[in-house]
Amino acid sequence: MLFRWDWLRPQLTAPIVPTLGPVHPDALAVSIFEDILRAADTGDFLPYDKDQRWGGEKDEKVLRADVVHHPEHTLIPTLAQRGRGTVKVFAYGLRDSVINEAAELATNLVAAHDVADARVVRPLRRETTHPRGTRIQLKDFTTGPCPAPDGPVRPITAWPAAVQNTFAPFAETMAADGLAYLHTQMQAGRCGPVLATAIGDRIVGAIGPMEVRMDAIGRPQLMPQYFAVLPKARGHGLGRVLWQAAMHWGQAHGAAYQLLQTEVDGPSDRLCRSEGLASLGFSHMTRI
């Protein structure tokens, strides 16, 4: 099955692709959608898939036989087997009725594949009023310098051993933000450097891993990071210093841009908006 770009392109209200997540608008082409269909057949990672850096096997794949592709709407379902299993249906279309059609498809696929969870993902235009869900934001490193911030931020391995040893309990405390998973990848030597900030002799915030990889059109992209500051250490600007240090690292290592997803009106969202990032649209997910 091949997508018709003249059908699909007008429906892409935000640059988000099933199994891949946000992509740069310049890379948003019919070839990416065809790639995710081929990957569903082989089970392999695409060369530019951000999840490839973690190794193992790709968990989420497109249910190719169940794709709905029409001139006015396109539904692309995916299946992830992790846990009790999840079906997502990505609903592309300008009419609100696309949500109901996507929900019906998701419900049917949950039963067919005997999984526990069904969700509908709806991309929304950046002009959306009162948006919910996540905002897709672009940091363009080609528009100006990203100076190193003044503040106590350095790679974890550059801190004294006594401070490094506090990362494990910090990561466990911030497990909900992905830091415990990040710590396991660090211990296995599977990821790039992680930047951290400390108060006294204890790590209270971190961002990482810091890695640059090529996107679908060969442009260097700073990959998404896990990012967290202990609640008791917030309110002192440490999150901003960490983020600015990460942007400085990305630019210094040749990245052209970074894409971020932030919860609308959450702390990271407000930080990125205040730093002047460009909004590319929104993604709203509904559990069925």
Question: Tens digits of per-residue pLDDT, 116-173?
Answer: 999 999 999 999 999 999 999 999 999 999 999 988 999 999 999 999 999 999 999 9
Q: How far does Cα 58 stand from its chain's mean position? A: 15
In the chain, which residues have pLDDT < 70? Answer: 1
Q: What is the pLDDT of residue 151?
A: 87
Q: Are residues 12 and 28 in contact, defined by beta-carbon separation less than 8 angstroms?
A: yes
State the DSSP H helix or E strand holding residue 153, giving kind and residue range, or none if neither: strand 153-155
Tokens of 284: 């709203």
Contacts of 199 (CB under 8 A, 6+ apart): 152, 233
The pLDDT value given to residue 1: 59
pLDDT of residue 55: 77
The reported pLDDT for the residue numbered 174 is: 97
CA 55 to chain centroid, in Å, comes to: 17
Q: pTM of this prediction?
A: 0.92
Per-residue model confidence (pLDDT) at position 41: 87
Query: Is domain 143-255 classified as CATH 3.20.190.10?
Result: no
* Distance of alpha carbon 27 from alpha carbon 31, whole angstroms: 9
Long-range contacts of 126-131 (CB under 8 A, 24+ apart): 126/14, 126/279, 126/280, 126/281, 126/282, 128/281, 128/282, 131/264, 131/282, 131/284
45 and 66 Cβ atoms separated by less than 8 Å: no
Round the average pLDDT of the chain to a whole number and report it.
95
CB 228 within 8 A of CB 196: no
- Would you state the structure tokens that stand for residue 72, as one six-digit string? 């006015």
Which pLDDT value is given to residue 234?
Answer: 92
Q: CA-to-CA distance for 11 and 13, rounded, in angstroms?
A: 6
Which residue type does 94 have? L
2-39 as b/e, with b when 16 or more CB fall inside 10 Å?
ebeeebbeebbbbbbbbbbbbbbeebbeeebbebbbeb
pLDDT score recorded for residue 190: 84
Q: How far apart are CA 72 and CA 101, in angstroms?
A: 12
Closest CA to 229 of 241, 214, 244: 241
Burial label, 83 (beta-carbon count in 10 A; 0-12, 13-18, 19+): exposed
Query: Which helix or strand (DSSP H or E) is residue 226 part of?
Result: strand 226-229
| Region(s) of the chain under CATH 3.40.630.30 | 143-255
